[in-house]
Structure 1
Amino acid sequence: MDCIHRGGESPDVYIAERLFSSSLMVLVSRSTPFRMNIYHFKKSTEICNYSYSSNILAVKLNRQRLIVCLEEALYIHNIKDMKLLKSLLNTPPNPKGLCALSVSLSSSYLAYPGSFTAGEVTLYDALNLNTVTVISAHASHVAAIAFSASGTSLASASERGTVIRVFSVPDGVKLFEFRRGMKSNTETVHIFRLEHHSPSQESPSWSAYMGKMFSAASTYLPSQVSEMMHQDRAFATVRLSVAGVRNIAALSMIQKVLCLLVASLDGHLYIYNIDPQEGGDCPLVKKHRLFDGDDEAELEACGPSYAAAVATCTNPDPASSSALAGYCEDVGVKRGELIPEHEFADGPVCLDDEQEFPPVSFQNS
């Protein structure tokens, strides 16, 4: 784990989004929360900036689109030239800036809360610029949404935080339902398997017999009890060592080992091994200090180098390119000229260069 960039120009940044492994970075600072600045961080060059009517709560990027989320509006930009394509105004109040954007090459779906009073999720086609469907995901407000890497499924959780549901994209049919426990404030990370168990493949064990018996009995029980009996439990679990701070978790293959990465506001990145066959409790194998100070290797590492998990990106000769003149667009009103698409794509960020992005092929596991 090496620091590849450190920016000291904006110490009050609260949003930092990178376009995959490219050098394109979007920053929003607390001093100007209504303005989005887009940089080429390896050249320390600002590409452009946009201003909006209220504070920016979230920014999402993929190969085709850039999404800016305000409390009651969403703006869809073309990633090639940053041109504003669509303004979704008067969306349901979204004070946390909750939204998700799929990363698949073949599609570009946007998901955001579809109601302020119920747990609905609106699925929007950001390529064709039209609403696809509204999913009735939960009884209470939606608190988390995320697409799969292929963009063919969408996971969601409510503010209660005890049930996770997975829906197919684009039709919105419920595929899976998981329960992470009866409480939502435990310091754990739960990992679930997205697979259906076929009754014909189950061994004639006592547990299988009891499972079938409970499943049959659930048809006579109240709907809430029956629903709970059909919810699968976690396949693997991580018990966090630090309580009371925000964490962000992600799965990754590191040196051909399936790992869970947890970045914590305590200033560390924790790496846990996952047994893909047995699951269970996941051991901590590495701990990195993200801020000032040397990295701490407290336990055995997954492999000799964690840098292999990060794709390299080309760095054109700085002397061969000049700084691009920025432009500003205030709530869709242009101020200045748009950056030509060829200048943007071939200049600061080579969007067609596969070395700027992670692999796009997906394998079934």
Structure 2
Amino acid sequence: MYPYPPLQRQTKVCELSFKTAILAVKMNRKRLVVVLDTSIHIYDITIMKLLHSLDTPPNKKGLVSLSPNNENNYLAYVASNVSGEILVFDALNLQAVTIIQAHKTPVSALSFNFSGTMLATSSGKGTVIRVFSIPDGQKLYQFRRGTYPAQIYSLSFNIQSNLLAVSSDSETIHIFKLDERAREQAKQQNVKAAGRGGNSGQIVGGAGGGMFGAWIPEAFTDMWQPERDFAWFKLPPGSIKKYNICAISNSTPLVMVATGDGFFYQYSLNAQDGGECVLLNRYSMLDPAEKQEFETSQQEAASPPDEDQL
């Protein structure tokens, strides 16, 4: 891999070589993280010096998330390939912080918010989305994406951390609202779980029953009905099953999606009432001259959701 400075195109700073394939590369203003199948390497991005290496279980998908925040500079990665354990590592001070039993099955996606204070995860089937507080690893929210299994492609918070967009190989993009009502429900569930000796996160090195700590039994979590989505929209038929990533605009109520077939979509989001988002524009990233604008009214867009949205 060849890191480049931001203001000088095609000017190589250094070259990093590895014996096995690079599965993912993450960076923020202080750290660069290189993910291999069974190891993670952390570099000081200012001088490109190797600071620390972590041995990991096989991680064929290169699932990691690096916080963009300089102070809450956390790295999250899968700690098991047979269960949903996630280890949160302080990339600034180079020490393990928390182990979270996020799901019963292996995690299929994970992502920090902008401030590094929340971590979103998805279950192996992609039907349940959970949000945990960082660094203590307490469960804050739980949402249901849909009924049928799906491969989760991206989890994306808005900058205020009150909305979470989720994209997958299904036709529907879901936006969940991280509001006080859902959080209060989570608090009540965590209090009940604590009374039974359960906990979703275990501080590394802290007291309480082994390295991975206790976690909320699946039978109890099933009693807590996950929240449904706040808003949604369907991608055009040609983009279904194509790899995609989504994001919520920091300045305007827009949801943006880039798809593997080279298109970029903008959807209008009703930030107050939610509901179905309206397609505004479609751009071709392969042909900059190609742009398609849409003038669909809110009334025309308000068609009932499909099975995946229910």
Q: What's the TM-score once normalised by structure 1's chain length?
A: 0.63
Give the structure 2 partner of residue 251 of structure 1. 248
Cα drift, residue 96 of structure 1:
0.4
Residue equivalent to 1:111: 76
Alignment CA distance shift 1:69-1:188 (3 Å)? same
Confirm whether residue 193 of structure 1 aligns to residue 177 of structure 2.
Answer: yes
In the TM superposition, residue 171 of structure 1 has moved relative to its aligned partner by 0.6
Contact 1:247 1:262 in 2 (8 A): yes
- What code does the residue aligned with 1:172 have? G
The aligned runs of 1:106-255 (5 Å cut-off) are 106-185=71-150, 186-197=170-181, 224=219, 227=222, 229-241=224-236, 242-253=239-250
Indicate the residue corresponding to 2:269 in structure 1: 274
Q: Which amino acid aligns with 1:295?
A: E
Cα separation, 2, equivalents of 1:184 and 1:192: 18
Task: Spell out structure 1 runs of 4+ moving beyond 4 A.
Answer: 222-226
Q: How many residues align?
A: 242
Residue pair 2:72, 2:117 contacting (<8 A) in 1 also: no
Task: Give the alignment of 1:52-71 within 5 angstroms.
Answer: 52-71=18-37
Deviates more, 1:96-105 or 1:223-232: 223-232
Instruction: Give the structure 2 partner of residue 31 of structure 1.
Output: none
Q: Secondary structure at the match of 1:197?
A: helix
Q: Structure 1 residues 198 and 131, CA, compared in 2 at 3 Å: closer, same or farther?
A: closer
Q: Distance in 2 between matches of 1:198 and 1:117?
A: 29
> Using the alignment, how far apart are the partners of 2:128 and 2:50 within structure 1?
36
CA distance in 2: counterparts of 1:79 and 1:198, whole angstroms = 38
In angstroms, what is the RMSD of aligned CA positions?
A: 2.2
Moved more, 227-236 or 237-246: 227-236
Q: CA deviation at 1:181?
A: 1.3
- The residue aligned with 2:16 is 50
Indicate conservation of the 8 Å contact 2:182/2:227, yes or no. Answer: no
1:95 to 56, 60, 69: 60
Unaligned runs of 5+ in 2: 151-169, 185-216, 297-310
Distance 1:284 1:103, change over 3 A: same
Unaligned 5+ segments in structure 1 are 1-35, 201-221, 302-365
Q: 1:266 to 1:181 in 2, by over 3 A?
A: same
Provide the rounded CA distance (Å) in 2 between the counterparts of 1:223 and 1:122: 20
Between stretches 165-174 and 178-187, larger displacement belongs to 178-187
Alpha-carbon distance in structure 2 between the residues aligned to 1:229 and 1:267: 40
Q: CA shift at 1:38, angstroms?
A: 1.2
1:50-72: CA deviations, max 9, x gaps? 01121000000011100000010
1:105 CA displacement? 2.4
Q: Flag the 1:180–1:50 CA change in 2: closer, same or farther, 3 A.
A: same
Question: Percent identity at matched positions?
Answer: 44
Are 2:104 and 2:218, in contact at CA under 8 Å, matched by a contact in 1?
A: no
Amino acid at match of 1:106: E
Structure 1 residue 146: Cα displacement: 0.3
* CA–CA distance in structure 1, aligned partners of residues 42 and 271 of structure 2: 38
Q: How does 1:31-46 map to 2 (within 5 A)?
A: 36-40=1-5, 42-46=8-12
Compared CA separation, residues 124 and 71, structure 1 to 2 (3 A): same
Partner letter of residue 138 of structure 1? H
Which letter does structure 1 place at the counterpart of 2:86? V
Q: Is the 8 A contact 2:41 2:50 kept in 1?
A: yes
Q: Distance in 1 between matches of 2:3 and 2:243?
A: 26
Question: Given that residues 286 and 300 in structure 1 are in contact (C-alpha distance below 8 angstroms), is that contact kept between their aligned partners in structure 2?
Answer: no
